[in-house]
Amino acid sequence: MGTAPELVGSGKASSHIKGFDGLRAISIILVILTHMSVLDYLPDTAFFQGRFHPLVSGVTGVNIFFTLSGFLITRILIREQARTGKINLRSFYARRFLRLTPPFILFLVLLLIGTAFGVYTVYPIGLLLSFAYLYNFIPHFLLNGQLSHTWSLAVEEQFYLVWPFLITLLPHRRLAFAALAAVALAVLAAYVLPGLSFPHNGHVYTLQDTFFVSRWFFPAAGPIMVGAFMAVLLFKRPAACRHLALSSLAFPLSAALFLSPLYLPVALLPMAFVIQAAGVAVLLLAIMERQEGALTRLLEFRPLAYLGKISYGVYLYHVLATSTGAAGATVKSAPLSILLFMGLAIASYELYEKPILKLKARFQ
């Protein structure tokens, strides 16, 4: 997803963070496991469904990716601002377009071809909302299995439309406050939105009855803004971040935060998604300062790192062989499904995306 941020405390820029792609691979693995219905085999108990499930669900995988993305995009922009005195928004959006749009267009074309041959069923309004990056606001009755995962693309795009402008307008101290305020707003939305009600045809419905409110920009952007805050903090307080990253508490703190659904009081579980994001952010700092460490080497395992590199394509295309949600593939169909969408993702990356990505150099 563009140029990686510099290492904490290294005093020099780095074009690559070892272990970063491995973390992205973990996020996409969680998504695939969920859409392959693997989590259906968890015991149907309050503990496993209410507390263990948030550790391994596809939504958690997306939130890991959100955290990494918020950190990376923010770091890229504030580094550019520090280096040149400004942010070239035109170049930023050109790079984002070249990275994200061509595979997305290919996905939609393949989906339409499949629909024409009766393989898939797609609602026109759903296709339009997906293309407009508004699928996170779609009501339940219009949800389509082959498009439902594009809600996360919508959240990312909405972040891109707002956050870069705030970085150009706000001093870094206020930028950190803005990121924290956005996290707080996400938590507030997670508590308040589901229970809000409205009348319709003589009945009263809650927003949760009608929409996937957890996918609305607030609260969904919470993990993105956690990552963004960490990037600002790293820029403003590099010594403090380096001290945390190198301390013996870094990995235990990261684990304690990420595992918070296991021990949080029930009343605090709705905010676990941002606490887990904080754990991912701390882990990223620790990895950045331990580029030759054992965990980093494990994350750099070549197949894992490559999966992270093509994770965007895997995320886009896997629904063509699995669908999502309740209509997802079964474990029995997993081998063929994996072969199909992995083959498509690899071919797309090597033959289609790579040549286009070379054009990004014109907008550095």
Give the pLDDT confidence of 133-184 residue by residue, as tens digits. Answer: 999 999 999 998 899 999 999 999 999 999 999 999 999 889 999 999 999 9
- Cα–Cα distance between 229 and 223 in angstroms, integer? 10
Q: What's the pLDDT score for residue 236? A: 94
Q: What are phi and psi of 5, to 5 degrees?
A: -75, 165
Q: What's the pLDDT score for residue 172? A: 84
Least confident span in 6-20, 23-37, 87-101, 117-131:
6-20
Read off the tokens for 306: 């490559």
Q: Please determine, for residue 329, whether its predicted confidence score (pLDDT) is greater than 70.
A: no
Q: Please determine, for residue 29, whether its predicted confidence score (pLDDT) is greater than 60.
A: yes
- Cα–Cα distance between 277 and 71 in angstroms, integer? 11
Cα–Cα nearest to 210, from 292, 139, 135? 139
Which position has the higher pLDDT, 335 or 268? Answer: 268
Q: Please determine, for residue 6, whether its predicted confidence score (pLDDT) is greater than 50.
A: no
Which position has the higher pLDDT, 5 or 266? Answer: 266
In tens, the pLDDT along 59-106 reads 999 999 999 999 999 999 999 999 999 999 999 999 999 999 999 999
Cα–Cα nearest to 51, from 232, 259, 194, 201? 259
Give the type of residue at 108: L
37 pLDDT band, cuts 50/70/90, is: confident
Sign of CA dihedral 8, 10, 15, 16: negative
Q: What's the pLDDT score for residue 336? A: 85
pTM of the model: 0.93
- Cα–Cα distance between 244 and 240 in angstroms, integer? 6
Q: What's the pLDDT score for residue 337? A: 87
- Cα–Cα distance between 356 and 238 in angstroms, integer? 35
Q: Please determine, for residue 108, whether its predicted confidence score (pLDDT) is greater than 80.
A: yes
Q: What are phi and psi of 198, to 5 degrees?
A: -150, 145
107 pLDDT band, cuts 50/70/90, is: very high
Q: Please say whether the beta carbons of 73 and 1 come within 8 A.
A: yes
User: What's the full length of the chain, in residues?
Assistant: 364
Cα–Cα nearest to 32, from 349, 313, 332, 322? 322
Paired strand residues for 200: 203
Q: What's the pLDDT score for residue 327? A: 43
Q: What's the pLDDT score for residue 10? A: 39
First to last CA, the chain: 13
Q: Please determine, for residue 328, whether its predicted confidence score (pLDDT) is greater than 60.
A: no
In tens, the pLDDT along 186-208 reads 999 999 999 998 888 888 889 99
**CA 119, 124, 126 angle in degrees (round to 5)?**
95
